A and B are shown apart, each in its own frame.
Chain A
Amino acid sequence: MSKERRNLLLNIMGILVLFVILYLFNEYGTDYQIRILNNMAVFITLAVSYNLVNGICGILHLGPNAFITIGAYTSALLTMSAAEKQMTYIIVPLVWPLNVLHTPFVVSLLLGGLMAAVFAFAISFPVFRVRGDYLAIVTLGFGEVIRVLANALQGVTNGPLGLKGLVPYTNLWWSWGVAVLTIIAITKLINSSYGRAMKSIREDEIAARAMGIDPFKHLLMAFLISAFFCGVAGGLLAHLITTISPTLFTFFLTFNLLIIIVVGGLGSTTGAVIGAALFAWGGEALRIVERPTDLGFLKIPGIPGMRMVIFSIILMLVIIFARRGIMGRSEFSWDWLLSKLGWKEKGF
């Protein structure tokens, strides 16, 4: 058996094991555990697609929250029934044709992703005219613009009131199904000639151009693909939380994603997955620090936002002491795992 076939087989087995574990949690897990697992999957999708732009292309893009917002609203508007919409939009009625459109969940997710990609395309020309800090500022600004628009365009988004009572379609199968597909698709892209072209731009844009690479085309490609998956994840989030409003997806979310991919190792998909999993789990586990504590002799009042302080400290420590994060730019591979386990090559 060739190494390629062996790895394919191990990949399939790995995914099967994952879904068996998910099945067990789905049957016997508590709501709390299931919520953490759903969050984990959505953050994995977000981090892996965000890493494509920031880690692989080496661009500091600070606007994924915009694409998540667009995906969330699009998807939510498409799954709400006409009657629900009429009840929700009490101040300004929802514009046609959104007021009558109604699609199945999976279609709403895809269209959420597509809509995010359309917006990404619309801003790509100003964004990729500049590089570095300027690009970061332009994308950051776009994130704010979308938040303001979500507030102001009442006939589309219902303004500050947001959308409530969405059907909680997002379950473990949807969230993890999307996460696994995202990981597979983006990993294949990164390891392809297109991914190499993106990395060459990150390494030395001048040399990349001299070797015939069109930077705009490839940065745009990464940006659109990343926006698409962020949009899909936004749709998942909307139907997980079941209530969305303009204040839900602020720069704060982008900042969290940045922490995840930097701690995981900028440029490593494996790192993004590990970072996202730790973040989703840690975010829940650390809720204790925001709760009032009574140690008998000492009463500590709960400090809201304390978790964020802890995450920020972790980020600073990583940047100062372990700049390459958990994984650096390395990726998980079966070869590595098998050799760690003392596997002998001749077994196959």
Chain B
Amino acid sequence: MGDFFQLNDLVMQFGGLTAVKDFSIELQAGELVGLIGPNGAGKTTVFNMITGFLTPTSGQVRWQGEEITGFPVHKVTAQGIARTFQNIRLFTDLTVLENVMISFHQRIRTFFWEAMLGFPTYRREEKRIRESAMAFLQELGLAHLAKEKAGGLAYGQQRRLEIARALATRPKLLLLDEPAAGMNPQETNELAVLVRELRDKYALTIFLIEHDMKFVMGLCERIKVLDYGITIAEGTPAEIQSNQAVIKAYLGEPK
């Protein structure tokens, strides 16, 4: 068994509601895996358990051979797992560039008093952060918007900025929660190309949630399907498309 990333029998209960039940998956480095399912199936809850926003009722999150279940969110990020949010969560009153620069803060080497006293050590680091952040914006075609307030961007651009920001934390595993939501077909196509490029360029492993079936089927190598918190299918896009349980979950029982 590879020990890149594993979820073992994750369970999440909210009072009487079991949002996720016995969810297990293993990801190999470099894979591009999809997680689909109807609304309220528990997909985002899985992401929240991985990133530390929720502590699973039971089960384990294992990363690089170590258990990280229940780690504080910022420590999970420091371990190399980054995410985007389904309901975009940018720092709206800060500039596009600042949004990305924040992701570099976790690795800062100078101390706050060096910043307060205007030490050259701090100024050099600030310059380096600024330049690296610009490079990520370039990568995602947002460089020309660097000085704009993030809240003023068009919807598709905000989704891209979310990805740029996550990428700037230098993850090994990137979790994308409905990255194509609200995009038009052309933007969605561009996004699929971009996701594959980023995976190759940064040697990423990508785990993504998406409702756009064309996007998921075209992009993912492997797909897992959740319904009412229970895994009802997994396999290649072709297998999932012809799976009776999946069709039933999406279309309901044939009358």
Q: Which residues of A contact B (CB under 8 A)?
A: 185-186, 188-189, 192-197, 199-200, 203-204, 206-215, 221, 225, 329
Q: Which of B53, B74, B92 contacts A213 (CB 8 A)?
A: B74
Q: Which of B72, B78, B85 contacts A207 (CB 8 A)?
A: B85
Whether B105 lies near A213 (C-beta < 8 A) is: yes
Chain A residues in 8 Å Cβ range of B77: 209-212
Docked CA distance A196–B108 (Å) = 12
Chain A residues in 8 Å Cβ range of B108: 193-194
Additional A-B contact list (19), CB under 8 Å, known A189-B112, A212-B78, A212-B106: A185-B116, A188-B115, A189-B115, A192-B115, A193-B101, A193-B105, A193-B115, A193-B129, A199-B98, A200-B91, A200-B102, A207-B91, A209-B74, A210-B85, A210-B166, A211-B82, A211-B102, A212-B107, A214-B74
Docked CA distance A160–B107 (Å) = 50
Q: Looking at A210, A214, A215, A225, which has the most chain B CB atoms within 10 Å of its CB?
A: A210
Q: How many residues of B contact A (CB 8 A)?
A: 37
Whether A196 lies near B122 (C-beta < 8 A) is: no
CB distance from A207 to the nearest CB of B (A): 4
- Asked if A221 meets B112 with Cβ closer than 8 Å, knowing A193-B105, A196-B105, A207-B85, the reply is yes
Whether A203 lies near B104 (C-beta < 8 A) is: no
CB distance from B108 to the nearest CB of A (A): 5
Docked CA distance A78–B26 (Å) = 64
Whether A211 lies near B129 (C-beta < 8 A) is: no
Q: Indicate with 1 or 0, residue by residue over B87-121, a CB within 8 angstroms of chain A CB atoms.
A: 00111111000100111111110001001111000
Chain B residues in 8 Å Cβ range of A206: 53, 85, 89
Chain A residues in 8 Å Cβ range of B73: 209-210
Chain B residues in 8 Å Cβ range of A210: 51, 53, 73, 77, 82-83, 85, 89, 166
Whether B92 lies near A203 (C-beta < 8 A) is: yes
Whether B93 lies near A329 (C-beta < 8 A) is: yes
Docked CA distance A213–B98 (Å) = 14
Chain A residues in 8 Å Cβ range of B85: 206-207, 210
Q: Tell me if B125 counts as interface (CB < 8 A to partner A).
A: yes
Docked CA distance A197–B169 (Å) = 13
Q: Tell me if B126 counts as interface (CB < 8 A to partner A).
A: yes
Whether A212 lies near B105 (C-beta < 8 A) is: yes
Q: Looking at B118, B129, B166, which has the most chain A CB atoms within 10 Å of its CB?
A: B118
CB distance from A8 to the nearest CB of B (A): 10
Docked CA distance A199–B95 (Å) = 11
Question: Which 6 pairs from chain A and chain B are nearest by CB?
Answer: A212-B106, A192-B115, A203-B91, A209-B73, A207-B89, A212-B77
CB distance from B52 to the nearest CB of A (A): 8
Chain A residues in 8 Å Cβ range of B98: 196, 199
CB distance from A203 to the nearest CB of B (A): 4
A-B contact pairs, 22 of them (CB 8 A): A185-B116, A185-B117, A192-B116, A193-B105, A193-B108, A193-B115, A193-B125, A197-B105, A199-B94, A203-B93, A204-B89, A207-B90, A210-B51, A210-B53, A210-B82, A211-B82, A211-B103, A212-B78, A213-B74, A215-B74, A221-B112, A225-B116
Whether B169 lies near A212 (C-beta < 8 A) is: yes
Identify which of residues 142-187 in chain B touch chain A, using a CB-to-CB cut-off of 8 Å.
Answer: 165-166, 169
Whether B74 lies near A193 (C-beta < 8 A) is: no
